[in-house]
Amino acid sequence: MTAASAEATAPTAADLAGRRVRVKVPATSANLGPGFDTLGLALARYDELEVEVVDDGLAIEVEGVGRGEVPLDESHLVVRAIAHTFAHFGLERPPLRLVARNAIPHGRGLGSSGAAIVAGIMAAKGLLEPEIEISPDELLELATELEGHPDNVAPALFGGLTIAWVTPEGPRHKKLMVHRGVSPLVLVPEHEMSTALARSLQPTSVPHEDAVFNVSRSALLVAALIQSPELLLAATEDKLHQRYRAEAMPETDRLIRALRAAGHPAVVSGAGPSILVLASDPSERADAIRLVEESAQTAWQALPLAVDFLGATVQAVDAD
């Protein structure tokens, strides 16, 4: 993206002084089986962030997930996203105080890095308004520049089910509402999985028939999620990514096979190692949880989560 020419309307340091915003960003599950790097679903579990422009320095406080683990300096992903957004408008990041309250598990395929990026971009949006308005396409483009692919950041920004695609002009998205019968269940293991490792296991090309297989299942999946949940088992089949990554997460692979054999539409959530079950009603979720409790060799946390339909929000907060 080229630097926007917003000098005429950019807020001054005096405008920014004391501005304070509160941001809320949902967890996400990407791919959803066949929709590699394309489909994503926002889930009702949230990272929250408060950002205030202060006189000098950078103070970061982290509560919940990541406390004692994530860096507390310029390299903090939220700070990088704020700086990236300010730089896009030709502005330097102002001195800040951040408080992050995180509930999205890290390294589990639930979009925590996408959520951090979106949180930073939405915080910058809130701080820069009203002088600068950022369009939905610009928000997605800024987020995709940092994340590398749009399938997690699109649902984190806009909520619901999102189809994301990349054009020469930048990434674009279509948001869809999900059928009210769809009851997502996320199963989270104790161990993490690196997205970079998962992506390194992808082949550079795939057989044409596998590509056709995924085209049909992805198209069907959109219909199943918005209109026909009874088709979710057939619609969540995939030949583009899960088989190549299975060796790096054997228990995830084994449990997904067991869940699918029992009729549950289970897929790897994002790059893994969590499992997403797109159940059709709450009782199906209970059956899937029971199956995993009986078959798993390590500890798995079951999170029955609603679909988030709002996406990321930002609101101005009055200074104390």
Binding residues for ATP, by number, are: 105-115
- Residue whose CB is less far from ligand HSE, 144 or 195: 195
- Report how far residue 152's alpha carbon sits from residue 275's, in angstroms, rounded to the nearest whole number: 15
- Residue whose CB is less far from ligand HSE, 31 or 102: 31
By CB under 6 A, residue 173 contacts ligand HSE = no
Distances (CA, A) of 232 to 14, 160, 260, 283, 285: 54, 17, 11, 16, 14
By CB under 6 A, residue 195 contacts ligand HSE = yes
Read off the amino acid at residue 297: Q
Strands 96-102 and 58-64: parallel
Interacting residue with ligand HSE among 11, 184, 189, 270 (CB under 6 A):
270
- Report how far residue 257's alpha carbon sits from residue 154's, in angstroms, rounded to the nearest whole number: 29
* Touching ligand HSE, residues 148-167 (CB under 6 A): 149, 151-152
Q: How far is the CB of 7 from ligand HSE (least distance, A)?
A: 35
* Touching ligand HSE, residues 64-93 (CB under 6 A): none
- Residue whose CB is less far from ligand HSE, 97 or 199: 199
Quick note: the x/- pattern for ligand HSE over 209-248, rule CB under 6 A, is --------------------------------x-------
By CB under 6 A, residue 199 contacts ligand HSE = yes
Distances (CA, A) of 151 to 109, 112, 141, 191, 274: 12, 13, 12, 23, 16
- Report how far residue 196's alpha carbon sits from residue 133's, in angstroms, rounded to the nearest whole number: 33
Q: Which position has the token pair 């940092």?
A: 146
Which residue in 111, 114, 147, 108 sits closest to 249, CA to CA? 108
Quick note: the x/- pattern for ligand HSE over 15-54, rule CB under 6 A, is ---------------xx----xx-----------------
**Please, are residues 54 and 96 in contact by the beta-carbon 8 Å criterion?**
yes
- With CB under 6 A as the rule, give the number of residues binding ligand HSE: 13
Which residue in 241, 306, 312 sits closest to 278, CA to CA? 306
Q: How far is the CB of 36 from ligand HSE (least distance, A)?
A: 6
- Name the residues that contact ligand HSE, by CB under 6 A: 30-31, 36-37, 149, 151-152, 195, 198-199, 241, 270-271
